[in-house]
Amino acid sequence: MSHPSMANRSAVINVMVAAAQNAAQSLVRDIGEIENLQVSKKGPADFVSTADTTAEKSIVADLQKARPKFGFLLEEGGEIIGEDTSHRWIIDPLDGTTNFLHGIPHFAISIALERNKEIIAGVVYEPVHNEMFWAEKGAGAFLNGRRIRVAGRTDMADSIFATGIPFFGRPGHKLFLKQAEVVMAQSAGIRRFGVASLDLAYVAAGRFDGFWECGLKPWDIAAGSIIVREAGGYCTGVTGKKDEMVTGDILAANDVLHTKLQRILKKISKEMAG
């Protein structure tokens, strides 16, 4: 299915979009199968890890064909050093595995391109609704053929924030519960959809007013972060300006809400630490 803005997309975005669409076909087929597996004792876990690996192999093959010298940072396959060491693809072939495992149709493929340690292009594809979010440095952010912008809301009380919950027993669980309690009291609500790349894409499209989460991996946030920035939003570490790609702690929103939410989260961190 082609979109009206195909003509304005750069060659590299077209390559990323095609790789995501290609890999999505098997994922959409597989999630249909999962419903049949829910009833078996063994359950769908093995099936999902196969789906994940299959999608990753498909994406790698497509990208290697188009740009044979680039390197890779992969969720499943680790790091592959390319001949061209300045360029690297960062890929999550199935963001939202837990949703996928339960047959919940909310998951995404995330592909980013890094040049000299800076993300220069990103694609987040949600195949169930055929929503392709993409951005390239300096060229704006798009959903299919339409330009997207972060929401203009400035009042916490009108705003909806997305987040991720650390699994029980993982570090940061207590801190998160406190963050959620305070943010819920001051906002129109919190959503927890379980797919960081899509949470970021939804912030870029103005659906969520902001998103924060700690302990993420580079492939969870690489593509989403450039889409937010190109949509006019701010993307930083949760409590400081530190690089979210390194720390895995991310906060994304428009400029006004970013400041407000960061102040709240900083204060909680200080209190919990002290």
Domain boundaries in the chain? 4-148, 156-273
Rounded to an integer, the average pLDDT of 234-255 is 89
Give dist(CA 240, CA 251) in Å, integer. Answer: 9
3-state secondary structure of 80: strand
User: CA 70 to CA 57: how far, in whole Å?
Assistant: 15
Indicate the pTM of the whole model: 0.94
pLDDT over 50 (residue 1): no
- Checking if the pLDDT of 60 tops 80, the result is yes
pLDDT in tens, 32-43: 888 777 666 556
pLDDT tens readout for residues 158-180: 999 999 987 766 778 889 999 99
145 pLDDT higher than 70: yes
SS3 content of the chain, % helix, strand, coil (to 5): 45, 25, 30
Q: Is the pLDDT of residue 151 over 60?
A: yes
pLDDT for res 239? 83
Report the pLDDT value the prediction gives residue 55, as an integer from 0 to 100: 96
Report the alpha-carbon distance of residue 55 to residue 139 in Å, rounded.
Answer: 28
pLDDT in tens, 83-113: 999 999 999 999 999 999 888 999 999 999 9
pLDDT at 200: 98
The domain 4-148 having CATH identifier 3.30.540.10: the answer here is yes
Per CATH, the number for 156-273 is 3.40.190.80
Token pair listed for 242: 């530190």
Q: Quick one: pLDDT at residue 40?
A: 62
Rounded CA-CA distance 199/220 in Å is: 10
